[in-house]
Structure 1
Amino acid sequence: MNSVSPSAAQYVGGVMQDELMEGRRQQQQPLDRQGSFGLRTPQTLDPSSRDATGEPDEMDRLKAKLMSAWNNVKYGWTVKSKTSFNKVSPVTVLGHSYLLNSEDEVERFRLAFVSRIWLTYRKDFPQLEGSTLTTDCGWGCMLRSGQMLLAQGLLVHLMPRDWAWPDAQQLTDVDFEVFRPRSPARAGGVPIPSFGSPRGSNTPEKSPHRASSAPNAARKRDPSLKAVAKTSALHNLAVYVAQDCTVYKEDVVRLCDLSLSQNPPDPSSQAWKSVIILVPVRLGGEALNPSYIECVKNILKLDCCTGIIGGKPKHSLYFIGFQDEQLLYLDPHYCQPVVDVSQVNFSLESFHCSSPKKMPFNRMDPSCTIGFYAKNKKDFESLCSAVSEALSSSKEKYPIFTFVEGRGQDYGLEGHSSNNTGPAAHILPPGRLGRSNNRRNSDEFVFL
């Protein structure tokens, strides 16, 4: 018996129902925040409210300014509260564990956490085209969480695995139940190479933070975007987004194996694109199924995992680890001034968080997306094996998602498989779940 789990029907239906309810609320609250799974952008202005030049009238400008001011105040401050870490259980951060019973371990954890790229709400950026918005406060948290997941993939792609930000700040608002580090650590870090420079070159004044900068939509010729476009390292990177909780291995191979693009194909070629794999899943119905908690832990223990974006209801977060029954996360719900990344020596401090936060697993929203990274073909094969083993740890009969041999079109997913001459992003069309010709009996599928 073949099975699809979690159910695509339940998954899509639940999301559609949530979006319908949210859409009704949105009519009353134009800048209401998005749900935990999908992004709801702010309402566009009614064309009738624009003046003859096509610009928003004074009333709309005033409304937008008042809403922006309120959101800037709302997300511009936080309540200081300490996060406790015990010294008995290890803390896991994206495949690495730290037992916080010594100064050295606390120091290793500090570097691992603070070195992650933190992207938050920003204010005072150039007005978004077609609107009066100069901030994403109140509606951009899912975008920021997604950017953090992608930024981690770029970080492991461009930098050595043991890289740490050499200017990492000291941790704040934490209680380790042990002594604190005596001195700041500036050693052990590797300078960040600039875009377009040889990997590992000593150019600390430029960094891949340009790829994950604050919003700058009005600057269509942003130098940072030019730098990304010209970087040969990013030309060798692909993105695969799974559909219906299934990763089709042959689709990934066709996306990454550069030998297939040669005419005729060269089987002896070792050319292979690195790949970021994103898998949207649902870990329960209205709430997280406790049976999946151990599975989520095992996934976060994997070196190939780049984190999980999800959060709690109405509150998007980026999960990077855990300790015991609590998740470790980065929160985008903090408003900071925009940073001009066109400057050579722009400040990096606002792109790194020094205050770790935790939340119980049972508060995690079931809708989330898991990220993975494979540098080469061997890494991809190891990823498939390691992730499949982690998925099998669930107490549920059906795994969170699966790896399947073959291509999506073999299973009736029209438009699923990309050809090897297409773009490096493999994003699947929604609602294309189907059945292959040799699976005509609906009884062969079990929908949860």
Structure 2
Amino acid sequence: MISFTALENFLNSNDEKSVWILGKEYDSVKDHDEILKDIRSRLWFTYRRGFSPIRDDSGPTSDTGWGCMHRCGQMMIAQTLVILHLSRDWRWNPDKFDEDYQRILKMFEDRPSAIYSIHSIASKAAFNDADRKITDWLGPSTAAQVFKKLVTGDRWTNLAAHVAAEDGIVVQEIKNLCYHNEQSQNYDASTEMNDSSWERLSRSRHERKINHFPSYYDNRALIVSNPISVEQDDEFVEIIMPPVCNVPSSPSDNEDAHPRSSDSVNSEACPAFTSTALSLKWRPLLLIIPLRLGLHELNMMYAPHLMNLFKLRQCVGILGGRPMRALWLIGNIDDKEVIFLDPHITQPAAIFSQSSPEAFSSLEASFHCSSFQQLPLNLLDPSLAAGFVCPTENDFDALCEDLKKTGIAPALFEVHDIRPSYLPPPSFSAVDTPEGWGEVCTSVSAPHLQHDSSYMSSSGVKTGSNGDFEML
């Protein structure tokens, strides 16, 4: 049983401590009221009961007991939307009508047609994995992949979502993604999309991703060895190892052309990023980076860097907690404890279209938490997913610079200006499932398949079917 401490007890003490909440610093004594206002203004999603069955008439009508990571993911996405449509400094005022705020809330209603509803999340997770049940709990990385697909239906925000893999942040490729607009920039459709529509959209995007390799790799053979294998950790949980892939250097390659560390951006190394792309409008970036900071418990050597994530103004929180008890982490106290919002409270289903004007106010209030908690850092599970939002290209550049200045990169993950030659091509990094790895492997022509035992030692990542991975 995890022991949580009420944050109000801490705030009522006379000990001055530094408090960081999603990129903002406070003094625990002098800024007492501002801390409370800030946390209460975050959108809080919890278990709900009494909504329409998910997927079919026999589906669940409550997510109690299994939907906590779904709800934490909703909180991260909601914070992203608040920053983009309302600003980080926005504060909830129940007496003031805010059209954009209400529009955001309706995107999370407990009904199938809402883009980020519990119905959409659970259905998309099961759609991606035939062995997954609607009521299966999600890990942080799996949740990140699900939301990456769901944002494609949000034409109002027009997000470019990227979930990092073992390659960390490759600046050039993420900029390509953000400058590649998939719909008219003036398009302002309804915030709703039916299930079949986003499933078709997801399939088409997945097919394009699998069948395309960047021109940087087009003329070089892929070396694939060590096919997909299944191992078990100490708790007999399956860990699936993806096929090992390497792109051999061409005769003209040298260390100057393809450095192993971050380097100035080279447009020739990634021809898709051209002056034409630069003339397009930047799509706001949602960047989610899954982390595994230990095997069975959090390795405290990562603690300072993990705490520094909350000091970045682009941070939209961290998905974490414990297995089967997910929490949305939003800040820290003196770099020792984390502040979180807890979804483990069951409330009636939230459906605004069925609420009378009188009932709307109380329903709206159910999305804002009046009690907050803190947790010692060492009690966190090592499997996490950190989220960042970059409304502009300058925000993304500043994020990458701050990650390196603070030492977060390379301590937790790496930041590369261009893809180093020793990393697999992005199509491999972007594949979401073991089945996807198989599809990519079979697309490589037989003459190119060779055994490369040396590459295995340079690969430090194992990816699991539950969306989490082990850092060796």
TM-score normalised per structure 1: 0.62
2:129 maps to 1:118: no
How far, CA to CA, are the matches of 1:416 and 1:273 in structure 2?
24
Give the CA deviation at 1:128. 2.1
Q: Tell me which amino acid in the other structure corresponds to 1:192.
A: D
Question: Which residue in the other structure is 1:333 paired with?
Answer: 344
The 3 A distance-change label for structure 1 pair 231 and 79 is: closer
The 3 A distance-change label for structure 1 pair 259 and 155 is: closer
Question: Which residue in the other structure is 2:387 paired with?
Answer: 371
Question: Which residue in the other structure is 1:61 paired with?
Answer: none
The 3 A distance-change label for structure 1 pair 219 and 155 is: closer
Find the partner of 1:211 among 79, 94, 107. 107
Q: Tell me which amino acid in the other structure corresponds to 2:283.
A: K
Question: Which residue in the other structure is 1:255 paired with?
Answer: 177
The 3 A distance-change label for structure 1 pair 266 and 287 is: same
Find the partner of 2:315 among 305, 314, 321. 305
How far, CA to CA, are the matches of 1:441 and 1:209 in structure 2?
51
Question: Which residue in the other structure is 1:91 paired with?
Answer: 19
Q: Tell me which amino acid in the other structure corresponds to 1:329.
A: F
Give the CA deviation at 1:381. 0.7
Query: Any conservation in 1 of the 2:5–2:375 contact (CA below 8 Å)?
Result: no
Matched-pair identity in %: 28
Q: What does 1:48-447 correspond to in 2, within 5 Å?
A: 83-85=9-11, 86=13, 87-102=15-30, 105-130=31-56, 131-167=58-94, 192-194=98-100, 206-213=102-109, 215-217=110-112, 233-235=156-158, 237-244=159-166, 246-258=168-180, 266=276, 269=279, 271-324=281-334, 325-343=336-354, 345=357, 346=360, 347-392=363-408, 399-407=411-419, 411-413=423-425, 415-416=427-428, 428-430=431-433, 441-442=454-455, 445=458, 447=460
**Structure 2 unaligned regions, length at least 5:** 121-150, 185-271, 442-448, 461-471
**Structure 1 unaligned regions, length at least 5:** 1-77, 168-185, 195-203, 418-426
Aligned residue pairs: how many?
A: 317
Query: Any conservation in 1 of the 2:164–2:289 contact (CA below 8 Å)?
Result: yes
SS in 2 for 1:254: helix
SS in 1 for 2:312: coil
Deviations 1:45-97 (A, max 9, x none): xxxxxxxxxxxxxxxxxxxxxxxxxxxxxxxxx99996423441121110111
Give the CA deviation at 1:358. 0.7
Give the CA deviation at 1:430. 4.0
The 3 A distance-change label for structure 1 pair 389 and 211 is: farther
How far, CA to CA, are the matches of 2:400 and 2:6 in structure 1?
41
The 3 A distance-change label for structure 1 pair 193 and 245 is: farther
Q: State the Cα RMSD in Å.
A: 3.8
Query: Any conservation in 1 of the 2:327–2:343 contact (CA below 8 Å)?
Result: yes
Query: Any conservation in 2 of the 1:124–1:337 contact (CA below 8 Å)?
Result: yes
Q: Tell me which amino acid in the other structure corresponds to 1:374.
A: C
The 3 A distance-change label for structure 1 pair 230 and 241 is: closer
Q: Tell me which amino acid in the other structure corresponds to 1:286.
A: H
